[in-house]
């Protein structure tokens, strides 16, 4: 048995909505095959296994596969480690990356900085109005894997208020085992670099993501937002015979 910490990342100003992430602090006790099994069973867009709390070394899994870098779980982990240790970590260390990921707080929000090339290769589809984004109706993943690229790994978006940098967006991520990602950090980081400015993204049902390029370092971007702690639940490590 182990405790799974559950956080909502990129909540709105009232602490509502956000994208859930599960965090296992004693990840070192979980074989890699068991990590993927748990991530698939939980169904969160990402589940994080921390192998060393002091070093902040960790591994990231979607329900379908491991990923090297992801915005919303890293923001959540940074927030959680600050709470548990009493100090804000300077960096996080996803084990599939060569360089650590800087992290910091700004005006109460938690941020991470990373290379957009380390995240998934998201497509972007710009629509004319926020209403068109809202009206998108993805197929049921359980019925049949979608062939349309829009539903596989795409952030569909529209300007809500272009002068103010406000965006309405939704992400569809069938390739990662998720019908719709409530609040996707890496897709929003990539969008910020493509439009070349800081943006505030009203994402999914109404989660809030802040993303911005780093002008002095092309290819780098930052993503940040509010996090809510939903507490812990107990999960069980599968027996060796149950691990695929």
Fold (CATH) for 123-222: Diaminopimelate Epimerase; Chain A, domain 1 (3.10.310)
Q: Choose among 153, 194, 144: nearest CA to 173.
A: 153
Gap between the terminal Cα atoms of the chain: 19
Element (H, E) at 78: helix 71-85
Query: What is the SS3 assignment for 172?
Result: strand
pTM of the full predicted structure? 0.95
Rounded CA-CA distance 181/240 in Å is 31
User: If one looks up domain 2-108+227-238 in CATH, what number appears?
Assistant: 3.10.310.10
Residue 142: what pLDDT? 73
Angle at 143 between CA 141 and CA 144, to 5 degrees: 75
Rounded CA-CA distance 137/150 in Å is 11
pLDDT in tens, 74-89: 999 999 999 999 999 9
pLDDT in tens, 40-65: 999 999 999 999 999 999 999 999 99
Q: Cα dihedral sign for 150, 44, 25, 80?
A: positive
Q: Where in the sequence of the chain do the CATH 3.10.310.10 domains occur?
A: 2-108+227-238, 123-222
């Amino acid at each position: 048995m182990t405790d799974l910490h559950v956080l909502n990342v990129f909540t709105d100003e009232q602490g509502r909505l956000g994208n859930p992430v599960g965090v296992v602090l004693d990840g070192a006790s979980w074989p890699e095959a068991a990590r993927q099994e748990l991530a698939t069973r939980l169904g969160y867009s990402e589940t994080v296994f921390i192998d060393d709390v002091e070093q902040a070394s960790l591994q990231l899994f979607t329900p379908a596969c491991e990923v090297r870098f992801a915005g919303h779980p890293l923001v959540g982990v940074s927030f959680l480690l600050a709470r548990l240790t009493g100090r804000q970590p300077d960096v996080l260390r996803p084990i599939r990356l060569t360089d650590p990921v800087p992290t910091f707080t700004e005006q109460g929000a938690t941020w991470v900085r990373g290379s957009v090339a380390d995240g998934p290769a998201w497509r972007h589809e710009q629509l004319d109005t926020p209403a068109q984004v809202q009206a998108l109706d993805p197929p049921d993943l359980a019925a049949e894997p979608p062939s349309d690229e829009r539903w596989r790994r795409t952030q569909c978006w529209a300007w809500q208020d272009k002068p103010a940098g406000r965006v309405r967006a939704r992400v569809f991520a069938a390739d990662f085992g998720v019908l719709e990602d409530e609040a996707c950090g890496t897709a929003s980081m990539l969008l910020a670099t493509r439009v070349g400015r800081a943006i505030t993204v009203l994402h999914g049902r109404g989660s809030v993501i802040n993303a911005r390029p780093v002008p002095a370092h092309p290819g780098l971007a930052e993503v940040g937002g509010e996090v809510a702690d939903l507490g812990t639940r107990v999960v069980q490590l599968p027996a060796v015979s149950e691990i695929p």
